[in-house]
Structure 1
Amino acid sequence: MGSLTLDAVTQALRNVEDPIFRRSLGDLGTLLDVRVDEGKVRAKVRVSSPSEEVRRAIRERIDAALEPLDVQFVELDFEVNVPTREATSTDPIPDVRNVILVMSGKGGVGKSTVATNLALALRRLGTRVGLLDADIYGPSLPTMLGIEGQPTSKDGKRIQPLQRFGIKLMSIGFLLEDPKQAVVWRGPMLHGALQQFVTDVDWGGLDYLIIDSPPGTGDVALTLAQKLRLTGAIIVTTPQEVALQDVYKSVSMCRKLNVPILGVVENMSYFIDSAGVRHELFGSGGGEKIAEFADAPLFGQVPIDTLVREWGDQGTPVVQAAPASLAGQAFGAIADALAERIAKEHFDRGGGESAPAGEGPKRLRILR
């Protein structure tokens, strides 16, 4: 026990490598505090992603680093400090740290399902999340989240988004008297509605604002890219070749608009039958092809799961209703991958020397 000194423990922890940035905690300046008391170690580490996988990896590396020192007990505090995008002086939502556009070149690939469950998975990580239904002509998020009613205003100027499961939501669906009513608008009216949803909605402080865009490469993505400093886009596809041709166009549009492509999600990838046999009903490899074309990671593959449809129709998405299901786990892993990718993007844009800046840390404690 003579080797268990504060200096020895501190040096061991300083050498632990951050799994996202691939640099030591000491170099990054994210080892915030170390205390040693009678064989017990207490440490505080700042992480730039709420990902459970990141916290697990750091915990395992700290355990390995302290094993030679015969530590009896480790209490590890994490400060989760989500990085902040570089908003311009005219940005209408400066208190929103990251704005993520969920896109697909083709309808019917489950983009809205992915956006909704991704938002809930990020919320389950303890972050503050908003969801903007920018699919003006086919708003489905109120149904998916089981929200009814109309937004109100506290001051007569800004609209209060509706909330469920800790998610703030705004959709044109809230403003329609009849949900079966068609939205027949020309371009200027669509632009006006989008601008109002962004500038006149009181989103408050958010770590992530997920925007569910309509399928295709039309005016919505162009308007949002011009009005907001987007953190990046997620491309949603299905495995079959017929879906890929349109998705390639979404990737090309992002490049033309200088919107970073954060990653790709392959939805309806496979089906597991009652005997545990995997069936690729729509083929395979579509997600990998899009990821390679976009030079972005494949965040994950979401299986065909009847629970997604059953719970979604009841207004409780599968991540909320059945997080341990195959689809629920897939969305959880995708949320982890997205949060890690965003942290790495901020790190690289900042020069790759120190952990990216953020405000308002959240604390999580792990004991061993």
Structure 2
Amino acid sequence: MEDDSGAAIHAPLAGPAPSPDDVRRMLAGVIDPELHLSIVELGMVDDVEVSPDGKVKVKVALTTAGCPLRGQIKSEVQSKVRGLPGVTEVDVEYGEMTQEQKATAMQRARWQAREDAEPTEVLATTRVLAVASGKGGVGKSSVTVNLAAALASRGLTVGVLDADIWGFSVPRMLGVEGRLGGAEGKIHPNTVEVPNTLDTNGPAGLLKVVSMGFLVDDEGTALMWRGLILTKAVEQFLNDVRWGEMDYLLIDLPPGTGDIQMGLARMLPQSELLVVTTPAVAAQRVAVRVADMARRSYLKVVGVVENMSEFVAPSGERFAVFGEGGGKALADEISAPLVAQIPLEPSLSEGSDTGRPIALSAPDSPAGVAFHELAAQLVDDLAPPIEMAGCTARILELADQAAAKT
């Protein structure tokens, strides 16, 4: 038997051959490099055979047949098993997990990720939706604000965290002013009550808003922060803000894939991603990187929002100003649903400038209807099943999707 470098894997015989159970106990110390759990706990050890002369054969079921980390797993398996007395040779064979094994591994990894996550003031019962884009100028903040308003108009309590520290714009778009208050060492969000349009006899909705814009003297103030300071600011918004009970927390991320996005995945591993793009090919190609970041961080992409899908003139005539098909192409490429196509109309941008989101000021307009339909989808059709809520081990789900395409 040879290892990946061609060297034979032997150990001096020092006693009787171990039992398969002895080998499995040693393999419990081999940690999957992506899911950070024991390969035994994840159900990746399919079979163990031990011959009387101490030759051990281990069959490892990988998440995908072409797992790029198979060599690392093999090396660690061999190293652990060679530590057992009586082992003369270690042979590692590969297989691929069944669908049932993958589902079980996802469940185990999900709870482990929850346990490992740092505690924050965001309750575990809050559904966290991070709104992301590959580049600026695609209307990501407008989508965040209007979606939050549409959800709140259903009588829900919705938090809005403006995590775009450099380019904060949520306060202006929502028409919210004033410094953040606080008591007992905690920051209190600014709040906006939203009439319940879904049930006029039901409770009003509530927006809880936190932004860097509430902490600077003027919205024209430039924040020349980098790396660690940016991440610390987001940590403070999650740890030091008394968010309280919320149905949803929408996080307006800065464009791209940087420190804030990575910090969010670490602090709120239950987050789901909405990726905003436009019909333009350039925006769509850049947005693919955001989906790749989500995959590497084990965050689920709940859907793609195509903003500025077409221009709606006052006459009702529609024009594909920025081209067509970018949202659908992105959704197909990253195996996520295209959940909304938001038209571009003058009142949408006017509402953002004046603090009157179109989802509230003109809910029957084409864009207003699109935002309310998106909110309804998230509440009904795209709501995560109870057994999947908070899942962060998305690598297995993505592996399934990749396998289905081949």
TM-score if structure 1 supplies the norm length?
Answer: 0.69
- Gap change, CA 1:346 and 1:235, over 3 Å in 2: farther
**Deviations 1:196-217 (Å, cap 9, x if unpaired)?**
0001000000110000000011
Shift, 1:271, TM fit:
1.7
- The corresponding residue for 2:90 is none
- Gap change, CA 1:324 and 1:91, over 3 Å in 2: same
Give the conservation status (yes or no) of the 8 Å contact 1:244–1:290: yes
Q: What is the identity, as a one-letter code, of the residue corresponding to 2:151?
A: L
- The corresponding residue for 1:163 is 191
- Gap change, CA 1:291 and 1:154, over 3 Å in 2: same
Q: What is the 5 A alignment of 1:81-92?
A: 87-88=114-115, 90-92=118-120
Shift, 1:296, TM fit:
1.1
In structure 2, C-alpha distance between the alignment counterparts of 1:205 and 1:274, rounded to whole Å:
41
Q: In the alignment, does 2:158 pair up with 1:129?
A: yes
Q: What is the 5 A alignment of 1:1-368?
A: 87-88=114-115, 90-92=118-120, 93-155=122-184, 157-165=185-193, 166-347=206-387
Shift, 1:96, TM fit:
4.6
In structure 2, C-alpha distance between the alignment counterparts of 1:231 and 1:345, rounded to whole Å:
15
Answer 1 or 2: higher relative contact order, Cα 8 Å, separation at least 6. Answer: 1
Shift, 1:344, TM fit:
3.9
In structure 2, C-alpha distance between the alignment counterparts of 1:276 and 1:186, rounded to whole Å:
45
In structure 1, C-alpha distance between the alignment counterparts of 2:137 and 2:118, rounded to whole Å:
35
In structure 2, C-alpha distance between the alignment counterparts of 1:268 and 1:294, rounded to whole Å:
20
- The corresponding residue for 1:49 is none
Give the conservation status (yes or no) of the 8 Å contact 1:262–1:341: no
- The residue matched to 1:270 in structure 2 has which SS? strand
Shift, 1:102, TM fit:
0.4
Count matched residues: 266
- The corresponding residue for 1:24 is none
- Please report the RMSD computed on the Cα atoms of aligned residues, expressed in angstroms: 1.9
Q: What is the identity, as a one-letter code, of the residue corresponding to 2:283?
A: A
Give the conservation status (yes or no) of the 8 Å contact 1:105–1:249: yes
Give the conservation status (yes or no) of the 8 Å contact 1:99–1:229: no
- The residue matched to 1:268 in structure 2 has which SS? strand
In structure 1, C-alpha distance between the alignment counterparts of 2:225 and 2:320, rounded to whole Å:
39
Shift, 1:239, TM fit:
0.1
In structure 2, C-alpha distance between the alignment counterparts of 1:137 and 1:178, rounded to whole Å:
13
- Gap change, CA 1:267 and 1:131, over 3 Å in 2: same
TM-score if structure 2 supplies the norm length?
Answer: 0.63
In structure 2, C-alpha distance between the alignment counterparts of 1:260 and 1:338, rounded to whole Å:
14
In structure 2, C-alpha distance between the alignment counterparts of 1:207 and 1:349, rounded to whole Å:
13
- The residue matched to 2:340 in structure 1 has which SS? strand
In structure 2, C-alpha distance between the alignment counterparts of 1:297 and 1:257, rounded to whole Å:
19
**Deviations 1:246-268 (Å, cap 9, x if unpaired)?**
10100111101010000010000
- Gap change, CA 1:199 and 1:341, over 3 Å in 2: farther
**Deviations 1:79-133 (Å, cap 9, x if unpaired)?**
xxxxxx9754743122552111100001000000000001111111121110000
Shift, 1:274, TM fit:
4.3
- Gap change, CA 1:96 and 1:140, over 3 Å in 2: farther
- Gap change, CA 1:158 and 1:270, over 3 Å in 2: same
- The residue matched to 1:292 in structure 2 has which SS? helix
- Gap change, CA 1:239 and 1:310, over 3 Å in 2: same
- Listed as ranges, the gaps of 5+ residues in structure 1 are 1-84, 352-368
Shift, 1:349, TM fit:
6.1
Give the conservation status (yes or no) of the 8 Å contact 1:95–1:206: no
Shift, 1:341, TM fit:
4.5
Shift, 1:310, TM fit:
1.4
- Gap change, CA 1:172 and 1:209, over 3 Å in 2: same
In structure 1, C-alpha distance between the alignment counterparts of 2:289 and 2:250, rounded to whole Å:
21
- Gap change, CA 1:279 and 1:151, over 3 Å in 2: same
